[in-house]
């Protein structure tokens, strides 16, 4: 699979007119290739002093408005996005010699969108979102388990669990999207879409 994509390469004439359509194509190919969790992406943020931090999150939906993931707004990433909304999302599809890098501005999804997604999560994950004050210190594993058990008593299986106020989605509206295809001799293909002020996308080829 990796060799196949390396041989085929990526040319300007292959690209869709917008990065969302191109992403949809590559995302489908990543899924069909059997890659484990192709929706796992590295989300990098920077604090108000410009210090970066990265972590993996899961892409839950995407369309022409952007790329959406869900998290705790009080987490480190959430606090950093509050201070500086510019983020980078990187899909590391090593198994097929590809990566996609999105950079843009993150904004919170509306409460209705968050609540609709929260309802689709397994009961245990819903409780986990309540039990974990993400990124803050916790005294022990036992304390975390105790929190979870208390919540499980309050909301037994089958009972509706509301989305915590501090939990929700971010939609990253891209300003650039780079599609990277590994090739022979390190002469990889890199094609980057950039959003113009008039709302149209232009594509440039970058040296590998
Ligand atoms: C495969 C994978 C998927 C993950 N998906 C999410 C996710 O969708 N949302 C989330 O908040 N954390 C997710 N995490 C946990 C984050 O990587 C991270 O530990 C957590 O969000 C706290 O990050 P922060 O302290 O930098 O804010 C995932 C971790 C892995 C390894």
Nearest 5°: phi and psi at 189?
-95, 130
pTM over 0.85: yes
Place of tokens 């939990």: 167
Q: Looking at ligand 1, which residue's alpha carbon is closest to its atom 30?
A: 56
Q: Looking at ligand 1, which residue's alpha carbon is closest to its atom 6?
A: 57
Rounded to the nearest angstrom, the gap between the alpha carbon of residue 175 and the centroid of all alpha carbons in its chain is: 15
Query: Could you tell me if 97 and 2 are in contact, meaning their C-beta atoms sit under 8 angstroms apart?
Result: yes
Pick the CATH number of 2-120+164-205 from 2.30.110.10, 3.50.50.60, 3.40.50.1000, 1.20.58.2030: 2.30.110.10
Test site for ligand 1: of 46, 51, 56, most ligand atoms within 8 A of the Cβ: 56
Which of 66-70, 167-171, 183-187 has the weakest average pLDDT? 183-187
Please name the helix (run of DSSP H) or strand (run of DSSP E) that holds residue 54, with its range, or none. strand 52-58
Mean pLDDT of 80-90: 98
Domains of the chain, by residue range, sit at: 2-120+164-205
pLDDT category, 1, cuts 50, 70, 90? confident
Q: Is the pLDDT assigned to residue 163 strictly greater than 80?
A: yes
Distant-in-sequence, close-in-space partners of 52: CB < 8 Å, separation ≥ 6: 44, 45, 46
Which residues' Cβ are closer than 6 Å to ligand 1?
37, 40, 53, 55-58, 69-71, 75-77, 134-135
Query: Could you tell me if 106 and 81 are in contact, meaning their C-beta atoms sit under 8 angstroms apart?
Result: yes
Strands 52-58 and 40-46: antiparallel
- Measured between alpha carbons, how far is 84 from 89 in angstroms, rounded to an integer? 15
């Amino acid at each position: 699979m990796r060799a196949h994509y390396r041989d085929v390469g990526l040319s300007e004439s292959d690209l869709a007119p917008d990065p969302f359509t191109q992403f949809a194509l590559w995302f489908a190919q990543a899924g069909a290739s059997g890659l484990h969790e192709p929706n796992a992406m590295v989300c990098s943020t920077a604090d108000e002093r410009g210090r970066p931090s990265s972590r993996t999150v899961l892409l839950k939906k995407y369309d022409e408005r952007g790329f959406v993931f869900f998290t705790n707004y009080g987490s480190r990433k959430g606090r950093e996005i509050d201070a500086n909304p510019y983020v980078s999302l990187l899909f590391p599809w090593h198994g097929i010699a590809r990566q996609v890098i999105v950079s843009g501005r993150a904004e919170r999804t509306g409460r209705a969108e968050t609540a609709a997604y929260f309802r689709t999560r397994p009961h245990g994950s819903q409780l986990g979102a309540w039990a974990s004050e993400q990124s803050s210190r916790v005294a022990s594993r036992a304390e975390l388990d105790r929190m979870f058990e208390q919540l499980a008593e309050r909301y037994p299986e089958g009972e509706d669990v509301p989305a915590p106020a501090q939990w929700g989605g971010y939609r990253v509206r891209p300003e650039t999207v780079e599609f990277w295809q590994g090739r022979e001799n390190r002469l990889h293909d890199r094609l980057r879409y950039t959003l113009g002020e008039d709302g149209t996308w232009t594509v440039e080829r970058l040296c590998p």
